[in-house]
Each structure stands twice: as C-alpha cells, then as structure tokens.
C-alpha cells in the first residue's frame, strides 16, 4: 500500500487530490505536469510507460501492465487529462485546490470529469499488483489530451498511429456520467455531433423600406423549421418514459451572425446549430432534410459543417458480446444496478468504436448529482473509493476473459 495520506486520509484520496491540482484546464492545459505525474506513477507501480506525441505538445501517455498471454487482445482503460474552464467567482472553493469539506466532499474541476476515473484505474491496478495478481490479458491505461475540445489532437490522431495498433485493443472502458439514484449508468453508444452553419443571402437596402427576399426572412424560415424539429424530438422524449436523452436527436441554436447597422438590411446572415444525432437515425436522409429546409426557405440559403461525425457505432449490450456479458455479470455479483444508455454528448469512445473496438462508458459514481462542467463540481471521497473496489472486480474479470475468435 502507498504511504498514509494527509492527516490519516486514505492514500488513494491523497493521490486523487494531487492529480486534481494539476491545472490541465483548457484552453492552455499544463500537460507537461500531467505527463510527469503519470510517469512517476508508472515508476512507482512498476508499469511500462510510453509517451506518444500525436501533435506538437499533445502527448498520449500509455501505462502498461503486461498479461501472461501476449496472444490475447488487450484491455484499454481510457481517460482524458484535460478539464473545462472555470468561473472562479461561482465556486465555493478554489477549483484547483481540491478542497475537502468536513463531510468528505472534494471540490475541484475534474472530480467527476474525469480525473476520478484515471486515478481509480491506477489505484485498482496498484492494489491488484500488491495482491500478487496476474491476468492473461494485458491492461493498458491511456491518458489522452484535448478530449474536452473534440479530441482532434488526442484520441482522433492516436487511433491512427502504429503505437495504437500495437496495443492490440480488444475492449475499452472510457468515461460515463454520475447517477443521482442508487443505479450506475453505463453507455454503449453516443450521439453524433453535427455542427451546422446555415448562411442566408438576400437583397440589402435601407432599414426603412419593405425590401423583398431579405437574408433575415429566409434565415428565419430555416430557424423555424429546425426549431419545429427540435420541438418534435423533445415531445417524443417526454412522451416515452423508455427513451433516454441519448436516444433522440437534439438541436440548439447557438449563434446568430450578421448585420452592420440598425438602419442597413444585411445581404448575408447566418445561424449556427449544435445537432446531436441519435445513432439509429439515417444520416444520409438527415443530411437531405437539412438540404430541404434550406431549399424551402428560398434561393441563396446554404449550409456547411463545422463538425460532422459519420461513424456512429453501437457496442452490443447483450450476451452476444462476451465483454458485456462479463462486465454485467461482475456488476450483478456486486449487486450494482446498471442502466444502459446512449451517451447524450460525445466522448473519445466514438473514436475507439469507429476502429471496431467495443467500448463502454462507465464512471462508477452513484447517489451523486451530475456536475460535470458545472460550478462546484465535486465528488464524495467514499464514492471515489468505492469506485476503486468496483474497478478491481471488473479488471480481474475482463483481463481474464478467455480467448475469443477476435483475438486471433
């Protein structure tokens, strides 16, 4: 076991708080400090440590615990090191102090998203190694940059590298969400982010005149069509108790641009939308729908993508998937209630699934309000510590899954 933490604090909690104090906050994360921290953990645990620079200053750190049978595919435990920005004035405590209150709640950016999980992986491996355990399958812990800004200079590049192919990943775990109830949420797919900019062109002129065919009128038609679609999807979600948020397509109008003065009718206006497309929706048909909305609004209305994910993949959550069978059996044995869902936003799991690797998003935090990206993001130390126990059981079983046809 590691040395005793501060004032009798559990050493795993002490390590967690150390990691939280590293300011890996976007837009200028201190990645060098995070990599140094992880290298030190690898050294202490006797794990292999590989640093893969996928883009300038963007390093994926891979900590490896070799299995006894190198012919088998490996288990990848993924987490991201970056966190989202903070508005300090809205926090009860400094978001990078990792303050722990008298009740045991730790306040810091990254407590839920997702530095907790990164340390839970490490501490589960630490304890299993201390017990003298060995498993057939190799376990790789990947710590990636830039997930919070889309993963374009992180996991998106890493999965295309020979170093990633060399991991021979058979199954992956990545982040999930807290669950305020007794249950634990597990994610088997996610919606596709489509960021769309609609641009409308029309007749300009003086603000005092009834000008025909203006950019604003036509843009308004598109906005109305898209918001009517939003209303329909929201109704569908609200009227069906069996649907989760991730099972419908959401959209929000996030930006309006155009115009130069109060008394000038602009020749061009644009609107930006954040669509999250449900994984079962026909993407070609949906893109045609966007075309139709623009066409119906009039001439000179076009759209372009700022982001367009086109590889939605679903990891089966039935016994046809031996990884799910193992994962769910372990949870059942621990009396954990699982709620399988489609992740409403996007995580790095999408890049893994797109490479044909089954992946589950799982952050073992129940009886915990969802506070990712929120002010006063916090996690109770007991919930954090229980998560380590859960991962110990999961890793023991997953790294011992017998040879599968996909391993050859």
Tokens of 312: 């939605």
Q: In 259-314, which ranges are E strands?
A: 264-265, 268-277, 301-308
Q: Is 82 a catalytic residue?
A: yes
Q: Which of these, 366, 362, 369, 363, lies nearest to 383 by C-alpha position?
A: 366
Query: Which secondary structure element, helix H or strand E, spans residue 75, and what is its range?
Result: strand 74-80
Query: Which secondary structure element, helix H or strand E, spans residue 119, and what is its range?
Result: helix 115-130
145 and 80 in contact (C-beta within 8 Å)?
yes
Dist. CA 338–CA 331, nearest whole Å = 8
β-strand pairing of 301-308 with 268-277 = unpaired
Neighbours of 113 (CB within 10 A): 26
Tokens 């998203």 label which residue?
113
Which of these is catalytic: 113, 123, 146, 147? Answer: 147
Dist. CA 406–CA 402, nearest whole Å = 11
159 and 351 in contact (C-beta within 8 Å)?
yes
Tokens of 244: 């989760």
Q: Is 389 a catalytic residue?
A: no
> How many residues does this entry show for the chain?
408
Dist. CA 35–CA 30, nearest whole Å = 9
Dist. CA 41–CA 81, nearest whole Å = 14
Burial class (CB in 10 A: 0-12, 13-18, 19+), 240: exposed
How many Cα neighbours within 13 Å face the side chain of 257?
12
- Contacts of 305 by beta carbon, 8 Å cutoff, 6+ apart: 194, 195, 196, 197
Helix (H, G, I), strand (E, B) or coil at 144: strand
Tokens 């000179």 label which residue?
300
Dist. CA 192–CA 280, nearest whole Å = 10
Dist. CA 209–CA 19, nearest whole Å = 61
- Return the active site residues: 82, 147
């Amino acid at each position: 076991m590691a040395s005793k933490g501060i004032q009798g604090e559990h050493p795993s909690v002490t390590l967690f708080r150390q990691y939280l104090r590293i300011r890996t906050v976007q837009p200028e994360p201190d990645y060098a400090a995070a990599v140094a921290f992880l290298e030190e953990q690898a050294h202490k645990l006797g794990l292999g440590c590989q640093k893969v620079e996928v883009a300038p200053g963007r390093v994926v750190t891979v900590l490896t615990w070799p299995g006894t049978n190198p012919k088998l595919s490996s288990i990848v435990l993924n987490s991201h090191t970056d966190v989202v920005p903070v508005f300090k004035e809205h926090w009860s405590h400094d978001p990078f102090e990792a303050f722990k209150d008298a009740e045991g709640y730790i306040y810091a950016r990254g407590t839920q998203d997702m530095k907790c999980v990164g340390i839970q992986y490490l501490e589960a491996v630490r304890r299993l190694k201390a017990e003298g355990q060995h498993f057939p399958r190799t376990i790789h812990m990947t710590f990636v940059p830039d997930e919070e800004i889309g993963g374009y200079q992180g996991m998106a590049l890493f999965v295309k590298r020979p170093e990633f192919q060399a991991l021979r990943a058979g199954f992956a775990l990545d982040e999930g969400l807290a669950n305020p109830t007794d249950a634990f949420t597990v994610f088997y797919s996610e919606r596709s982010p489509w960021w769309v900019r609609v641009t409308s062109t029309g007749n300009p002129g003086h603000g005092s005149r009834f000008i025909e065919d203006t950019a604003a009128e036509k843009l308004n038609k598109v906005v109305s069509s898209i918001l009517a679609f939003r209303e329909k999807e929201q109704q569908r979600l609200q009227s069906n108790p069996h649907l989760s948020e991730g099972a419908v397509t959401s959209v929000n109008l996030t930006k309006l641009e155009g115009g130069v003065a109060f008394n000038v009718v602009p020749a061009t206006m644009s609107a930006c939308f954040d669509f999250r497309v449900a994984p079962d929706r026909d993407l070609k048909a949906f893109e045609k729908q966007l075309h139709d909305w623009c066409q119906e609004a009039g001439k000179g209305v076009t759209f372009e993508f700022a982001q367009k994910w086109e590889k939605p993949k679903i990891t089966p959550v039935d016994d046809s998937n031996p990884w799910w069978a193992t994962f769910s059996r372990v949870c059942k044995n621990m009396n954990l209630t699982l709620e399988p869902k489609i992740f409403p936003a996007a995580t790095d799991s999408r890049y893994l699934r797109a490479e044909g690797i089954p992946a589950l998003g799982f952050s073992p935090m129940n009886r915990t309000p969802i506070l990712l990206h929120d002010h006063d993001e916090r996690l109770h130390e007991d919930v954090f510590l229980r998560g380590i126990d859960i991962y110990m059981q999961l890793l023991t079983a997953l790294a011992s899954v017998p040879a599968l046809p996909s391993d050859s």
